[in-house]
Structure 1
Amino acid sequence: MKNKLILVVFLITFKVGAQVSDLKHISFKKVNKNVRFHKGESLKNILTLTHKLTDELQTKVEKFHVIYLWICKNIDYDYETYRRINLKRETYKYNSEKFIKWNIDYRKTIFKQLLESKKTVFTEYAYLLQKMDFIAGIECMLINRYGRNSSIIIDEINYPNHT
């Protein structure tokens, strides 16, 4: 029993130490400089923008971080679209299949809107991050789960509402 405890403590210590030391060689100064330098750039050519943001960076951590920060600082939240989606959620409250079908079709429209207006909601932030990560050579997986806010009764949700 004592040997198992020592092994667990060793593994936890090793794991934590490895995670901290892995980030020591990363230059977040370059990341922040790139985000500032490319502030306000258009999304009309995501390929070019992604290369501009990530070209000088060495690690996937730096590349992911620059893309994430650029999105956070340059894409606004679109409350009108949020209201539209919530109205559809209410309409299809008892028919999650119809809502999912509507949502799949609507995503095509909302992504085009994002590229033009640089405003979006919910999942589109994640889709943009995934698309830019793919261009930068970073594997990125979207995971749909349940988000909670003041108007959601978690026990009554029939479909994932957050990515």
Structure 2
Amino acid sequence: MKFFDDNSMYSGPILSGEMVGRAQANLGVRLPDAYIEVLQERNGGVPVRRCFRTTRRTSWAEDHVEVSALLGLGFDRGIDGELGSAYLIQEWGYPDIGVVICDTPSGGHDTVMLDYRECGPEGEPRVVYVDEDRSILLLAQNFAEFIAGLLDCDELQSSKG
């Protein structure tokens, strides 16, 4: 099954090794292999499955978060671009713990990030949700686990709270 839907919003140019190297140098971290593999299908975009179950209430819902896009790299709205992770961390006051990788339907009030606090810049980051109050909730131990846990939002019973 494909990861992205047919909506090309949030998509950048075809991914190249040079773009990956430049993004990692600009961000100061090694990006997860699973993230790079997904971007080889399309360099950012709207996932087919956009919801991820949580163990507690979030600003989005009782039991999940929703992402509106997985951000790519190598263009203005990519994670390493002018409007990318560094800009979003500064603009929205997200904790400076790693890299913003997703847009959410809230338009900036919350986000999903790669968290490098425990693993360091060369390690395998965890994936966390940053709530509107800037509390951090662990979603997955790594990016591969995160994408495997994404669900079709229709499968979830609770509504936005």
Larger Rg: 1
Q: Do the structures match in fold with TM over 0.5?
A: no
| TM, length-normalised to structure 2 | 0.23
**Which has a greater percent of strand?**
2
| TM, length-normalised to structure 1 | 0.22
**Which has a greater percent of helix?**
1
